[in-house]
Structure 1
Amino acid sequence: MQFLTSSERNVLLDLLQQRDGEIDVRGQECDCHLVFEALHLLADGMPERLYAIIHHQGRRDHLQANAGNTFLMVQKIAESGAMACG
């Protein structure tokens, strides 16, 4: 399932690659796994922090994004894990 725009996805992929070097292959196919991994490696499990990382400059970075939907999905994944989207 993909709910992130390509620009949002690229931010997470780049940051995870810088941080860890390896990205879980499931995260490249499913945004839920990508967000789950990013929540724990980049944001200490805090959905608000991950959202701020993705949208650190507001809408200017991700013009095509539905920021409200992104935040709700990040929150849902934080509460229920990567299978929340399934």
Structure 2
Amino acid sequence: MNKYQDAFEKASLCCLCTDTAEEAHEYLDILKELVDKAAPKKVEKNIEGASYCPNCKVVVANKNIINDLNYCHYCGKALDWSDEE
């Protein structure tokens, strides 16, 4: 869990423990999208050697274009290029 996920979880618990406005929950939903986007996810690869964003499926690298992008250039999802499972 990264620091953004941790902060989001704590903020969510605070909203559950208090009598908050519906508007606060809407803000938390928006923040959740940001937290999910910031959490790195493994790049997907196919047999032709292309690497895809796990979120939007856009090609982020292939045998002609080698990239070690930290984020997808299309949707902004954080990418994990490690070989570890």
TM-score higher than 0.5 here?
no
Q: Kindly indicate whether structure 1 or structure 2 has the higher relative contact order, using CA contacts under 8 Å at least 6 residues apart.
A: 1
Q: Which has more strand, going by share of residues? A: 2
Name which one, 1 or 2, has greater alpha-carbon Rg. Answer: 2
TM-score w.r.t. structure 2 length? 0.26
Q: Which has more helix, going by share of residues? A: 1
TM-score w.r.t. structure 1 length? 0.26
